[in-house]
Amino acid sequence: MSSGLPIGATTASSRIMDWPAGSHASTFGGNPLSCAAALAVIDVIKEEKLLDNANKQGVYTLKRLGEFGENNSIVGDVRGKGLMIGVELVEDKESKEPAPEKAREVMIRCWKRGVAIVMCGVSTLRLSPPLTIQRDLLDAALDIVEDTINEVTKQA
């Protein structure tokens, strides 16, 4: 939100957060330097149309990984929004039993090949490339992820 400087924000509907003034605060909520950095980040996001890029590249990534997953026996689900994508690995498509060891193995092998992904939940790989990513770099990373999942699938 502020390019690495400490800042925090909380948002919710008034139904949830209809609290008296002062009943909630954030340790990182009011630092003037962090606030200035966050405003600059918002300006860059707007000027460089990064949300448009995230949506465009995200739709592409979901489609590509979804098609890949249809033909891979350990990809149980592909889901996401924008450039926050989850690839859930399972022992098999029929049982949908989570495959945490396979997910961990894919994560480590991808990292060794230059693509940083993390696990979230029990056996889901989270891909969240930068909002600035262009198609050529995205394709190179997805090639590595898909190849690595295929390698782990063959070992099963």
Walk me through the domains of the chain, giving residue ranges and CATH numbers. 14-47 (no CATH), 50-155 (3.90.1150.10)
- Tokens 């029990």 found at: 122
Q: What is the pTM of this model?
A: 0.83
pLDDT > 90? residue 11: no
In angstroms, the CA 80 to CA 33 distance is: 32
pLDDT > 90? residue 17: no
In angstroms, the CA 17 to CA 71 distance is: 45
